[in-house]
Each structure stands twice: as C-alpha cells, then as structure tokens.
Amino acid sequence: MTATAEKHPVDQVLPLGRLTVLGLQHVLVMYAGCVAVPLIVGGALGLDTRTIGVLVNADLFVAGVITIIQSVGVGKILGVRLPIVAGATFTALNPMILIGAKYGMPAVYGAILCAGVFGLLIAKPFAKIIHLFPPLVTGTVITIIGLSLIDAGAGLIAGNDPDAPGYGNLSHIALAGAIILLIVLINRFARGFLVSLAVLIGLIFGVMVAALMGLVDFAGVGDAGWFGLARPFYFGAPKFQAAAIISMCVVMLVIYVESTADMIAVGTLVDREPTENDIARGLAADGLSGILAGTFNSFLDTAFAQNVGLVQVTRVRSRFVVTAAGIILVLLGLIPKLGAIIAAIPGPVIGGAALVMFATVTAVGIRSLRKVDFDGNHNLLIVAISLGAGMVPVVAPAFYDRMPDELQIILGSSITTTVIIVFLLNLLFNVWTPRDPGKAPPDQAATPDGLPATSP
C-alpha cells in the first residue's frame, strides 16, 4: 500500500491537472457571490469604476489567501484543514454601507481591522460557546441578512434616488427580469454542474445584452495594469469610530456562526468531524481575514456554503483541491484589468443576479427556522420581535435619524439589531429558564449539533 493510499482522503494530493480543474470549478461556483460584495458596496457608496475595480481585486486576493490558509493550515493557530472555500460575506454589506456613508471609507476599514483583531482574540472562546447560537438564533439572523439586502439589489436595478431622471427605467427593470428568468430556466431544465453556474451564466448573459443597450463602458479597462496589487490603506489611514467598531464586531460574531456551521457540514461530508480546536483554528482564519481586509481594502470572509454543496456533489474530499482554488483566486486578485472589467458591469445586471442571491439567503434562513420547535414556548415571539426590530431601518431609513450618530450606526443596521435582540431573547427565554434535567431547549431538539446549514 502506498503512502498516498494510507492517507485520509482529505489529505490526499491529486495529480496537478485534476487539482487545477477541480480547483477552478470551486472558483466558478463562488465567483459571482464573492465579487457581488464589492460591486454592491461600491455602487451604494458612489465609488467610481476604477476604485470599485481595486476593491474587486483586493476581494479576490484576500479570499484566496484565507482559502489557502483554511485548507493547508498554519501550525496550531490557523486553518481548519478541510476543503473550505472562503469569500466575502453578505453579512457585512449593510454595516459597511452605513459606516461608509456616515464616516467614510477610512472608518469602514478601521472597523474591519478592529473586528479582525476581535475575531482572533475570541476564536477559541467562541468555539466553546457555539451552543448559545442554536437554529432559533442563526435562522433568524440569516433570514434578516437576506431581507435587509434586497433593498440594495433593487437599488442597483432602479437606482437609489427616486427623483433622478433615470430612476426605475423600464429597460433596466426588464434586463434584470430577463437575467432572473434565465437563472430560473437553468435551474429548471439544466442538470449537474451547469446548475451551480446559473448565476454566473446569468451575469454573462446580462453583460452581453447590456452592451447591446449601450450600458457597458470598458473605457477604464485600458488604463488598468496587467499585474499588481493595490497599495495598503488605499483610502488613507484607517479611522476608528466606536459605533462602527461595535457594529462590525457583531458582524464578526455572525460570521463565526456561519463558518462553524459550514465547517461541521464539510466535516460530515468528508468523514472528518472537526474538533473544538479545529473549529477554533478555522474561526481564527476568518478573524485574520479582517486584518488583511482592513489593510488591503477588502472584506470580511466566511466559509461559502455553495462550495460545501459542491463537495457533496463531486464527492472529492481532498483539501488540496481547495488550495488550488485559493491559488487561482490570488492570481485573479493580482490582475487589475480583471477587476476593471468586473467593475464595469452595469447596476441592473448585478442587481438582477443579486436579488436571486439575497432572496436565497432569506430562504436558507427560513429553512433553518423549520428546525425550531414553536409549540408550547416563546420562540415565535422571539423571532417576531427580532425580525420586526431588524426590518425597521429597511422600511423606514430615517427612523433613527434623531439619535446620536453612534446609535444610528448600530441600530441602523438590520443585522446588528437582529443579532443583539435574538441572542438576548434566546438567553432570557431558553437558556436562563429552568428546565427538566436532560431536556434539550425546544429550538435545538431537531439538530444534535445545534447548527443549520448557512449561506454567506
């Protein structure tokens, strides 16, 4: 028996050609979701195309570095050593937009830096208290993430200023609708790997149609270089605002819940259940993403659930396939022209695909809540209050305008508000309440590990 055959399938190194192809497949599955984050943040904050291109490249670069660390590991401190693909999380979108609009991009990256340090410090303790984040909490949070982001997707399609001349242009709405229809048709009639590329195919189709409509401008692509990485602190020295930091640290907690769920899911798929130390190392890598993102103008990363699904579909368990995906992402991040091309994609195209992704996140949250027992307890009240409070800043953006700026940043984020409320209410009703010995909390009874499958 060879040395390779004696290794666990997770640790086996496949031939180079197969590694490359399978790694590229992972990149294609996560690519649209990953680059959507800088495109939406840049569009919402009114950044120019060149700057958005910088964000795209930084996003891919940091995602690649964290993916490599998660799969290969760094000693006993970083990386879960499973086939985990990292990418920019939607969870941070709303807080980043709020902070950027109120204090500017230096405050955004100051908050992300602090969240990264916070994440590194709490990775080990958090791995010990994950039971305090059952499906009742995670399902509610994931649901509000998707609901709160739909507004951003609609803004990309119709515009963000109802008084602007081109607001709600029917051709833009029709273009977004056509992209959504194509995604639906692919999912209905296609089979296999093609289905996992539905969003990416929809984006390519949208760009082609948008070009015929005169909406695509690649003028900035010629000025972009072929190779290079944006300088650290592209927007200037980071600024540290207390409210922004608190909001982003709450986001880091949500990321940790998502990543833990995905690490456990992957471990089950590849027959290597992660230990508490494995999870702590994986979470520490997410924390490191904050430090890298704050330095290189990128975004907080989390484990991408769609790539967990790909592991299930392909049944390829080698973590080094994901290492290859990370290397490809790093190389893509070092090509500024690629970032410029992506940044030139019109808002209606991104918005159409984004609506599907955001609504999918909402549906995943609802699916997680199906695991919760709502009979004979206060769980329905907990979900109702948490979602109700979380939706206030979405449906009434000026609701907190009379409050101090610091409170506006915290309460103005649907995700931050919901996380705080659902966590505290779960403690009040389900954790601090005396129970019969041996009886599990009602919302955890259906899931032995207490964790749902989640999406970034």
pLDDT in tens, 378-416: 999 999 999 999 888 888 878 887 887 777 777 777 877
Q: What is the pLDDT of residues 274-309, one digit of tens each?
A: 888 988 999 999 999 999 999 998 999 988 766 666
**Whole-model pTM over 0.85:** no
Q: Which two tokens stand for residue 99?
A: 């902070």
Mean pLDDT over the full length of the chain: 80
Dihedral (CA of 332, 335, 336, 342) sign = negative
| Rounded Cα distance, 152 and 160, in Å | 9
pLDDT at 4 over 60: no
| CB 160, CB 362: distance < 8 Å | no
For the chain, what is the total number of helices (H) and then of strands (E)? 18, 2
Percent of residues in the chain assigned helix, strand, coil, to nearest 5? 70, 0, 30
343's enclosing H/E stretch is helix 336-343
**Whole-angstrom distance between the N-terminal and C-terminal Cα of the chain?**
41
pLDDT at 361 over 80: no
Q: What is the average pLDDT across 37-62?
A: 84
Segment 198-233, tens digit of pLDDT = 777 787 888 888 888 777 666 666 665 677 677 788
Q: Which of 60-69, 145-154, 323-332, 338-347 has the lowest mean pLDDT?
A: 338-347
Of the chain, the percentage scoring pLDDT greater than 90 comes to 15
From the list 194, 188, 180, the residue with the least C-alpha distance to 358 is 180
Q: So what's the pLDDT on residue 454?
A: 44
88 DSSP β-pair partners: 301
Token pair listed for 8: 């666990």
Q: How confident is the model at residue 455 (pLDDT cuts 50, 70, 90)?
A: very low
104: left (phi over 0), alpha (psi -120 to 50) or beta: left
Question: Residue 442 pLDDT > 60, yes or no?
Answer: no
Q: What is the pLDDT of residue 303?
A: 83
Per-residue pLDDT, 5: 53
| pLDDT value at 447 more than 70 | no
Q: Of residues 188 and 307, which shows the higher confidence score?
A: 188
Whether the per-residue pLDDT at 353 is higher than 50: the answer is yes
Q: What is the pLDDT of residues 65-85, one digit of tens each?
A: 999 999 888 888 898 898 888
Instruction: Report, as an integer, the average pLDDT of 368-384.
Output: 89
More confident residue, 1 or 90: 90
User: How sure is the predictor about 340, in pLDDT bands with cuts at 50, 70 and 90?
Assistant: low
Q: Would you say residue 1 has pLDDT above 50?
A: no
